[in-house]
Amino acid sequence: MSAAPAIAPEPVPGSRVGGGALPRHVAIIMDGNGRWAKKRFLPRVAGHKAGVEAVRAVTRAGRAMGIEAMTLYAFSSENWRRPEEEVSDLMGLLRIFIRSDIDELARENVRLRVIGDYRRFAPDLVKLVDDAIARTQFNTGPILAIALNYGAQAEIAAAARRLAAKAVAGELAIEAIDDAAIEHELDTRDLPPLDLLIRTSGEVRLSNFLLWQAAYAELLFVDTLWPDFDAAALAQAVATFAQRQRRYGGL
């Protein structure tokens, strides 16, 4: 399934709000685990563990609300720059999350997706991710997409390379390379267009996350540290979204 064009798309039914429609696709930059732990004089890994609990609470709340897709920025391509011990802790928590939550996701008809180059991870973790994706691939319910070793600039560059290769091979006319062609090569091609992007912890930047997809998304920056972001906070974010008027460059 190819995604709708990112540049000035026609609003789909229910996407222009003010009347209370839900966002179809919500993405979250889950920021603030370290600061949450520091405020409590705890090691950073404690903040990451609390962040995993927030993932469970927020994704369950999103499903209960009827949100069609959620994309979570779990590990960026820049996170490799963190101390080796912290990266190891994050990988360990990812293993725990998959093993402990895959039964619930499968039972609730959730389709698990991964965006990013997660095959750089350790072989056992790659297999865990592959098995989890395979187990839920035929589910028909909401989508939970996890961004692992993801960077939006690399994603767009890879899409450009694939399109260039097709053009050189004579499989694609240069004139046919448009917004839809690029979107069809992105990691998110099987997800609905992005409606709402939330960043927690008070930082006001996208940090190389869904740069193309966010072209006409509503952006919401909140001060809440990620481990404290819960079902009520998600409901408030959705209520804020419902007050926005989305004109896509029109009147």
218 is in an annotated binding site: yes
135 is in an annotated binding site: no
Residues 52 and 88: their CA atoms lie apart, in Å, by: 15
33 is in an annotated binding site: yes
In 3-state terms, what secondary structure has residue 97? helix
CA 139 to each of CA 55, 135, 148, 215: distance values in angstroms, whole numbers, following the listed order: 20, 9, 21, 29
34 is in an annotated binding site: yes
48 is in an annotated binding site: yes
DSSP type of residue 227: G
Set 31, 89, 101, 187: catalytic member: 31
Give 103's Cβ-side CA count (13 Å radius).
3
Task: Based on the residue annotation, tell me whether 31 is a catalytic residue of this protein.
Answer: yes
Task: Based on the residue annotation, tell me whether 79 is a catalytic residue of this protein.
Answer: yes
Rg of the chain over CA atoms, in angstroms? 18
Tokens 């029109």 locate to 250
Set 79, 139, 190, 208: catalytic member: 79
56 is in an annotated binding site: no
Check if the beta carbon of residue 11 is closer than 8 Å to that of residue 179. no
Check if the beta carbon of residue 220 is closer than 8 Å to that of residue 23. no
100 is in an annotated binding site: no
81 is in an annotated binding site: no
Check if the beta carbon of residue 227 is closer than 8 Å to that of residue 33. yes
76 is in an annotated binding site: yes
184 is in an annotated binding site: no
Residue set of the binding site: 31-36, 44, 48, 76-78, 80, 82, 199, 205-207, 218
Residue set of the binding site for Mg(2+): 31, 218
Q: What residues act catalytically?
A: 31, 79
Residue set of the binding site for substrate: 32-36, 44, 48, 76-78, 80, 82, 199, 205-207
